[in-house]
Structure 1
Amino acid sequence: MTSPVTDPVPNLHHRRTDWSGFITAMVLGTAGGFVCFKLHVPLAFMIGAMLATTIAALAGVRTMVPPSLRDGLVIVLGIMLGSSFTPALLGHLAEWSVSLGFMAVYIVIGAAAGTFYLRRFARYDPATAYFTAMPGGFTEMVMMGGALGGDDRSIALGHSLRIMLVVMSVPFAFQALPGYDAAGRDWSLHGLGPYPWELTIADYAMIMVCFVGAPGAQKLRIPAGVLVGPMLLSAVLHLTGLTAAKPPGLLVAAAQVVIGASIGGRFQHVPLMLIARTAGVAAGLTMVLLLVTLGLSLLVHFLTGLSLAALILAYAPGGLAEMSLVALALHVDAAFVATHHIVRIVLIILLAPAAYHLWRRWGVRDAPPAT
């Protein structure tokens, strides 16, 4: 049985370069980001770009972000995350072992709860429900789900909507946490990183060295290598004290715009009726996963004393790049958050297909359970 969503959805991974669509995406994304920035919206440039390009895509306006550009700015994000690994952090690495171990618990509970929700209430078939609920990478889950008989269109749209909803909700909800000081934040561009003229030639040289990490990690087939490779090189340089440089704030803002516009562009050519039907399902799934996130974060917080804010972002069901940007924007321990999301992605890529086959062997029915 196929998923209930059968409307045609365009391929969300491979689109030819459309310069008109690219310029439109960048103009709309930058304008949306600037408006949100002036309004002091958390994660302003990504949320603004995402909203502007999503509205444009739904209105039929062509937008397009070349994958190579997104990858290039994800490298910048990786370098920025690596700069969070300071020598002072080494003394706290052992404290992360418990929360990293609970990541496997989060994946199991989140995937099980999400799959049950999609099977029971959305009436998805087993493969589509499982790979839509799995809080893993967008591309990996779509490819795995399609290869194992799921509806890759529904899986892709479900993950896109979930990521958008998490990016929209978490930064705002975060401000309600005890101890969050919005008044103490630097709302200028300098709050995202240093001004370009504040860096030395040596700083720029160190930053450029980190770019080598992307092709190196990809050749080694490291998951999310475009981000993880530069992050690891940057972390080594910062942990050894060779540099304390961070990418300029303007580049970080550009990364937010491009990643936000990439999310919004996924809804291009998708019928409004399809989005309307899937949005309710995705909102319910997002709520289920966020409840699991909150419950597990509270448990680990009480067990370890680790920051509740950092744990929520570490377990939040968003993408690695997106949640890392949220951590940077909200001045939470970005190294902690990124490390947990990398572990999540690795565990899911390695174990999700085998776990799916084991689940099917237990005799799960192809037909959705009755409501």
Structure 2
Amino acid sequence: MQPIDFSARVAALAARLSKDDIGAYVGTRQASLHYLCGTFMCWRGAVIVTARGDCDVVYWAMDAERVKHEGCHGNLFTFTGSGMADAIVERLKARGVSGPVGLDISHPGAAQVAPGMLTAGEYLDLAQRLPDTRLVNGVQWIDECMIIKSAAEIERLRMAAAAADAGLTAGVAAVREGVTENHVAGVVESAIRDHGSMWSWSVTGGTEVGAGERTSFFRGVTQQSTERKIRRDEFVVIDLHPLIDLYMSDLSIPVFFGTPNDAQKRAIACWEDVAATMLSAIRPGRAVRDCVAMGVEAYKRHGLEEFGLPLFGHGLGTCARTRPFMNANSNDVLAAGMVIALGTHFYQPGVAGMRLEYPVLIGESGAEPLSKIPARVQYVS
């Protein structure tokens, strides 16, 4: 794999901070830790980058030796217990930072909280210890650094997408009458591990598999796998989440086992039209809101907009709770080098449940799927 220059990442962030007269950024999101430090960091910690380009890392002592051994970028300091706030303040004072300080507080307009966002208790601890320092929401500065992917990042995202393809292919092949959702999930997990994935990162139960009525809960975006057995003539959702060298993929393409009835065929035609519409809508210079409007209009063409969600995906990189968020609240304009998990969600209770999660690179002329599997319903006879 192409090497990643972490010093250049720190310098780019520092330049943004300096331009906006921000003293330092304190990143607690796992996305920020992975992006700036370069090693798997699953416990509480923070990466502290100053406007002068200093980079200090504070991390829970019980995992710090592994993180150090695996090559954490930055100067590593440890804490125990609930001492993270004290460790952060100590480093800020050592670097002469008086403020303002940007913190990982929230993504405005996002429904989900990105893993590692600062807790209310941690914010209060910092505010108490830094009474004369202005604390601000700092996600914009790191997000602007992460949103356009380098060649090295795209290489890793392609590898993660290839692992996802292997997992979905294996999962579809495992679908047959009488096997459980859990069995299919296990087959998927084995395949993505064999292709280099080291973590199924999603909070929705890792690898999701749902069958029949469990695919079609109204607005039902979660199908953690269960012991429910798969039967003929029903939909199966398989949604998998590999991670390779800290970069994520997210892949779900609907499966139909058997022969669909007329209502199911109508739903499939709608879903496939919306998915194709969204793929053609993705191009540099187009506002996310305009892409969303095109997807919603496609649902309306079929008279099934009640069952289609106006949520069409999210960014991919060292996190999936990251820009660009493909919904009507987004202010982003698509640009070459962004990578998203393009989404198309359809949940008609008692009839059909279909989900697209599709890794896509935004190229100079439009969408380049990183998956080799077409964004169409996969049939198993």
Q: Is the shorter-chain TM-score for this pair beyond 0.5, marking a shared fold? A: no
Q: Which one has a larger percent helix, Structure 1 or Structure 2?
A: 1
> If the length of structure 2 is used for normalisation, what is the TM-score?
0.24
> Could you say which structure has the larger radius of gyration?
2
Q: Which one has a larger percent strand, Structure 1 or Structure 2?
A: 2
> If the length of structure 1 is used for normalisation, what is the TM-score?
0.25
Specify which structure has the bigger relative contact order, considering alpha-carbon pairs within 8 angstroms and separated by 6 or more residues.
Answer: 1
